[in-house]
Structure 1
Amino acid sequence: MPVLTSREDEKLSVPEFYAGKSIFVTGGTGFLGKVFIEKLLYCCPDIDKIYMLIREKKNLSIDERMSKFLDDPLFSRLKEERPGDLEKIVLIPGDITAPNLGLSAENERILLEKVSVIINSAATVKFNEPLPIAWKINVEGTRMLLALSRRMKRIEVFIHISTAYSNASSDRIVVDEILYPAPADMDQVYQLVKDGVTEEETERLLNGLPNTYTFTKALTEHLVAEHQTYVPTIIIRPSVVASIKDEPIRGWLCNWFGATGISVFTAKGLNRVLLGKASNIVDVIPVDYVANLVIVAGAKSGGQKSDELKIYNCCSSDCNPVTLKKIIKEFTEDTIKNKSHIMPLPGWFVFTKYKWLLTLLTIIFQMLPMYLADVYRVLTGKIPRYMKLHHLVIQTRLGIDFFTSHSWVMKTDRVRELFGSLSLAEKHMFPCDPSSIDWTDYLQSYCYGVRRFLEKKK
């Protein structure tokens, strides 16, 4: 009598697919990584182990980093309801940039013997990282992980976290769930990086992409695509990842990246001008929706023999768009309501499509008032602070000017089809279709999350 595999038994639920399996996660200590680790443990209670690649950082040992990791309120419900499940997290000392990921022989053997699913979330998220550094982390790190996965005895699926903006150039306003041509020749880029690439050469290589982050992520998609020949492979492309919408904690977030920093700066009166139009779409997606899609896509594709590389755009712009004006409005109203602005007249700002006007307005309405405010502080015996804040605002804005000044539609047909195939119980447990998000309600919880988890206010 034949034994049913996970693919032959189409009735397996998402939790049943992960039952008894072990997962290897890179980037697990990051914003998204934390969320899908918590979700896997909580919603797939029969999972065997989650092996997490981790390195020493900022004078913290691996054990100290793990202790800090689990201290996050994100893990509160697991600690209260099933604290023993946190012991399923097994630390694997290593480094995505080190040869063979910095794995010891014993840990490599464990991974080769035990792992069924890989979730590759490790990446540098600095937009303008020097190309050699972005290449080493985003491209070479993934290359080593792919090589390791091909030797794993139980591997069923490799899930790679890319970005929706890896293919969003100034001349492509619609991004489909397909593999686009590489922005440059992989071997040529490798040789330039090896020989010492200059800033001018880097600028030419970008080929319409805004920074080294999106450029190297686009190249990495092609490495991952080649892997489909060996192991069922999935690419997930999140857009602007923001706070948790539903669970385990509404509004939770742990960094200022994405839309958070510039929205808060603008709402508090520190930023008065944005490059772009009020009607431009900001493709925001809740972090729990990304984590849910990762988990569901892995379960529904794991072990499936197919020549098709599955790519999912985890985005909101094509089915439920939200504008730049709407986001700034909600953040500003929250700031006024909670009296948390820093400069007078919170919410007074303008949009412009001209860079020269952006510079002029910045000098008149941002830099000059902050300079005068610092002069006043010095005269009254206080430490100046506003020009330092202004520098941070400008650095943040420079990093996102390309994104606020353009508007894209990221197609999500495949995501919505996948979600539609789930049972009612799975849809409730793993929501990942943004079609029904109420943006006013969500953005209000997002603002609350900023106050509670980033500003540490009640």
Structure 2
Amino acid sequence: MELGSVLEFLENKTILVTGATGFLAKIFVEKILRVQPNVKKLYLLLRAADAKSATVRFHNEIIGKDLFRVLKEKNGTHLNALISEKITLVPGDITREDLGVKDSNLREEMWNKLDVVINLAATTNFDERYDVALDLNTFGAKHVLNFSKKCAKLNVLVHVSTAFVWGEESGMLYESSFKMGDTLNGASGLDIDVERQVVEQELNELQAEGASEEAITLAMKDLGIKRAKIYGWPNTYVFTKVMGEMFIEHLKENMSVAIVRPTIVTGTYKEPFPGWAEGIRTIDSLALGYGKGRLTCFLGDVKGIVDVIPADMVVNAIIVAVVAHAKQPSDVNNIYQVGSSLRNPLIYTNLQDHAYRYFTKKPWINKDGKPVKVGKITVFHDMASFYRYMTVRYILPLKGLELANAAFCKYFQSKYNDLNRKINFVMRLVELYRPYLFFGGIFDDKNTEKLRLVARDNGVETDIFYFDPKCIDWEDYFINTHIPGIVKYAFK
């Protein structure tokens, strides 16, 4: 593997970014425009019916974000000209053939001009409807690959997946691919086309029964988890993402493809500025509940490792992988797990300490204008002790309140509602994150480390395209960067 200057490679290149309104996609677009304004063109695929609605989404969900303030300061009054020259909005939908691009001239233009395709389109919701996740994460990957095959001079396709395609596996988890039909538990019979048929049959039956939209949504969520667990995966998200990888590997033929698997993605480490975040993602849900005083107990292995990686490092790894795999043979090692558990592990108990220190010093102000006082969380090390605690502390009192409420008292009704909300909140978090609270896996990153070393030895601009987790001081990062970032940008 040989690498030249990343900045030189990006110059005059034409790049398609799918899922352009997503968290990582926005950071990617900002990075390219800021460090290499001589990129020829960025085509941004947005789910939109037409050019007008795509423009509205671009201004509201991309360029209007605080993420772009450094770019705005750098370019001043020239920013609009830069955007007009460098960005082409593509209304479309990756769940459809040819990415749902209706404009035939625009399709032909991309097929003739694209050098690079970055597939960042996905739903990351753990309990997404199965039909939605299958369309986006699985068949969407297939559609992006097929679209890329029609590009006359394409250098490389980079498909962004997740390291948690390994499910609940423990030990060293390698940067190896999944072949079509592979399963984690050894079960046979996984066929992606059959999965689509299962979805269609279930939808047809529900509609024939006159089920409400709410009932259909719940049934589709349950179906996704059920189908995932049949083959050894814990939730719909990772199941549909691994099937997307299967499509990529099975159908890529001679195309140069790289698959990037980030772990838990957190706010930016330093670019375009430290701490930019968007939405509530994975561990941030716990910080949200804790900071607002709603999470006083939880369960998990306090000595376990939680694998997190800042978003700007993920984007930098994607960009360097683009350069490394441009015109490379399709059979080279092409999977990159981008995380920290091997090189610079973060321990769950340390994460709790960081949150306690931050919210003690800077407490959340509730709707009544009063600071929320946080304390140490009671942590249970197994499900049995957790359920015993919940029963004695909450469920039995809840039943008592049900009886009292039957007697008429509004006071008990209020207490009942508050307690019920707290139980539902905690139990939902437990169910969503249970597979990862006792996660025993370490993500090998041999290929990613090789990419780092080659970049360093080849004089690549490693100060610009940094992605080595060993440089992170986790205590400083969480207390002074990440938690302040999610409080500012993500907490509502």
TM-score normalised by L of structure 2: 0.82
The equivalences for 1:99-110 within 5 A come to 99-104=97-102, 105-110=104-109
CA distance in 1 between counterparts of 2:327 and 2:348 reads 41
Matched, 1:443 2:478: yes
Question: What CA deviation, in whole Å up to 9, does each residue of 1:220-240 have, x standing for no partner?
Answer: 111111344231000000000
Aligned to 1:61: 53
Kindly state the Cα deviation for residue 86 of structure 1 after the two structures are TM-superposed.
2.9
1:441 and 1:40 map into 2 onto residues whose CA distance is 27
In 2, Cα distance between equivalents of 1:422 and 1:274: 42
Q: Aligned partners of 1:369, 1:454: CA distance in 2, in Å?
A: 33
Q: Distance in 1 between matches of 2:449 and 2:392?
A: 46
Cα distance between partner residues in 2 of 1:144 and 1:368: 52
Report the counterpart of residue 405 of structure 1 in structure 2. 438
Match for residue 253 of structure 1?
Answer: 277
Preserved contact between residue 329 and residue 347 of structure 1 (Cα < 8 Å): no
Could you say if the C-alpha distance between residues 345 and 81 of structure 1 is closer, same or farther in structure 2, counting changes exceeding 3 Å? Answer: closer
What is the DSSP-based 3-state SS (H/G/I as helix, E as strand, rest coil) of the residue aligned with 1:421? helix
2:178–2:245 Cα contact (<8 Å) kept: no
Once residues 31 and 173 of structure 1 are traced to their aligned partners in structure 2, the CA distance between those partners, rounded to angstroms, is: 30
One-letter code aligned to 1:427: T
The answer to whether the 8 A contact 1:40-1:295 is kept is: no
Cα displacement (A) at 1:40: 1.4
Give the alignment partner of residue 195 of structure 2, picking from 181, 189, 192: 189
Q: Does 1:161 align with 2:160?
A: yes
How far apart are 1:411 and its partner, in Å? 0.6
TM-score by length of 1: 0.88
Match of 1:116, as an amino acid? D
SS at match of 1:253: coil
Q: Which residue of 1 aligns with 2:133?
A: 134
* Letter aligned with residue 40 of structure 2: D
Offset of 1:392 from its aligned partner?
A: 4.1
Q: CA deviation at 1:193?
A: 3.3
Q: Which residue does the alignment assign to 1:331?
A: 355
Q: Deviations over 1:138-175 (max 9, x none)?
A: 111111111111110121100000000001324x3321
1:27/1:33 contact within 8 Å kept: yes
Matches within 5 A, 1:190-229: 190-196=196-202, 199=222, 203=226, 205-206=228-229, 207-229=231-253
Show CA shifts across 1:76-125 (max 9, x none).
11111132433322110011223432212122112111111111011111
Is 2:70 the counterpart of 1:77?
Answer: yes
- Tell me, yes or no, if structure 1 residue 304 matches structure 2 residue 328: yes
Cα distance change of structure 1 residues 142 and 191 upon mapping to structure 2, 3 Å threshold:
same
Distance 2:314 2:30 in 1: 13
What's 2:454 paired with? 421
Q: 2-side partners of 1:48 and 1:365: how far apart?
A: 61
What runs of 5+ residues in structure 2 fail to find an aligned partner? 184-189, 204-218
Cα deviation code 1:263-316 (max 9, x no counterpart): 231244311222311111110100001000001110121112342240000010
Query: Deviation string for 1:49-78 (max 9, x for gaps)?
Result: 111111239xx9322211112111111111
Letter in 2 for 1:439: W
Deviation of 1:388 after TM superposition, in Å, equals 4.5
Shift of residue 190, structure 1, vs aligned partner: 3.8
Asked whether 1:230 is paired with 2:230, we answer: no
5 Å matches for 1:276-355?
276-340=300-364, 346-355=374-383
Report SS of the residue matched to 1:428.
coil
**Alpha-carbon contact 2:304-2:439 (below 8 Å) kept:** yes
Classify 1:189/1:11 alpha carbon distance in 2 versus 1 (closer, same or farther; 3 Å). closer
- 8 Å Cα contact 1:272-1:365 kept in structure 2: no
Change (3 A) 1:345 1:79: closer
Deviates more, 1:346-355 or 1:298-307: 346-355
Count of aligned residue pairs for this structure pair? 441
Question: Which residue matches 2:148?
Answer: 149
1:166-189 deviation digits (Å, cap 9, x = unpaired): 01324x332111114522333443
The amino acid of 1:73's aligned partner reads D
User: Which of the residues 21, 24, 31 maps onto 2:13?
Assistant: 21
Structure 1: state its 5+ residue gaps.
Answer: 1-6
Contact (CA 8 Å) 1:228, 1:308: kept in 2 or not? Answer: no
Task: Output the CA distance in 1 between the equivalents of 2:342 and 2:167.
Answer: 14
The residue type equivalent to 1:361 in the other structure is: Y
Change (3 A) 1:224 1:363: same
Does the 8 A contact of 2:305 with 2:348 survive in 1? yes
- Counterpart AA for 1:212: T
In structure 2, what is the equivalent of residue 47 of structure 1? 39
Give how far 1:194 is off: 4.0
For 2:3 and 2:177, the matched residues in 1 are separated by 30
Contact 2:255 2:330 in 1 (8 A): no
